Structure 1
């Protein structure tokens, strides 16, 4: 689940936004009044969204955005003057203050869905192999091709099928093929 951190200079305003989000079913990981607190909280989480104001007690939003760990996005809440001046960095979602509760909830929900989609896509993407693993698989295929007179495609399919049947990855299966056939 995407973690939401609220970082605003006034604790009572931050608590109000937290309560609004929690009532709407959006879990909030924490409420902070400084950028350092938000960064410390974010370091303990995998990914999420930081909702913050333009200026915190110890830094402005751009410094916080720069220091956020990979996987975190920012929702900036600022006045029309600040957002209209063009000083807001690209890649930061922003909402104009004062805002309606429904606008905030829908924006946060949209950001959560986008983050979850991105994480799901990243999880489903096949892991890239390093050169040693690729060489090991190639070596096992070559051994199968030489000893069993298989084509490269057939050897690959054999390793792939054994991998799926045994519940191991292809690298482990290639290692097993090599150890069994070199006996």
Structure 2
């Protein structure tokens, strides 16, 4: 389940939206009245949804959208007049007066998108730091020179030792370098 931040200039409106979401099984992390508060909460979380109004005491929704962390989505709740003047910019919106089923369906759709992206991020291999790449390359060169392996065989050897020992390839490469020097 995603983190949710509710942001409305009036505390009462924010609490009403929070109560509505909580009643339908969503967990709301924070209710805020200023954009700065919402950004503070968003920066402490990995991803989530900001359900917000159009204008706050310290900024507009467009400024908030620009400052939100990469993995956060915004759900703008505003009147038809305001929405007609807004540029979409990838911001999902729900028209006031609020229809509960529309809000819940939209939040559910956004939740599924975030979940899908989260799974995709988990499956992506982690980027190695330059010093780790250098250690692996050096270990491969040493194996190629001393054991007359091809580059592919040396890579597979380090990979297999890494899997057998339960360490990552960079640590295994370091062990190979210590043992062979």
Q: Where does residue 102 of structure 1 map in the other structure?
A: 101
**Residue 60, structure 1, aligned to residue 60, structure 2:** yes
**Residue 131, structure 1, aligned to residue 135, structure 2:** no
Q: Per-residue deviation at 1:71?
A: 2.2
Distance 2:138 2:13 in 1: 63
Distance 1:35 1:142 in 2: 54
Count of aligned pairs between the two proteins: 181
Q: What is the correspondence of 1:1-183 to structure 2 with a 5 Å cutoff?
A: 1-85=1-85, 87-182=86-181
The DSSP-based 3-state class of the residue aligned with 1:147 is helix
Q: Per-residue deviation at 1:89?
A: 4.2
The DSSP-based 3-state class of the residue aligned with 1:29 is strand
Distance 1:138 1:59 in 2: 50
Identify if the C-alpha distance between structure 1 residues 135 and 43 changes in structure 2 by more than 3 Å, giving closer, same or farther.
closer
The DSSP-based 3-state class of the residue aligned with 1:58 is coil
Structure 1 residue runs of 5 or longer lacking an equivalent are none
Deviation above 4 Å: which 4+ runs of structure 1? Answer: none
Structure 2 residue runs of 5 or longer lacking an equivalent are none
Distance 1:3 1:135 in 2: 39
Distance 2:162 2:175 in 1: 10
Q: CA RMSD in A?
A: 1.6
Q: Is the 8 A contact 1:62 1:89 kept in 2?
A: no
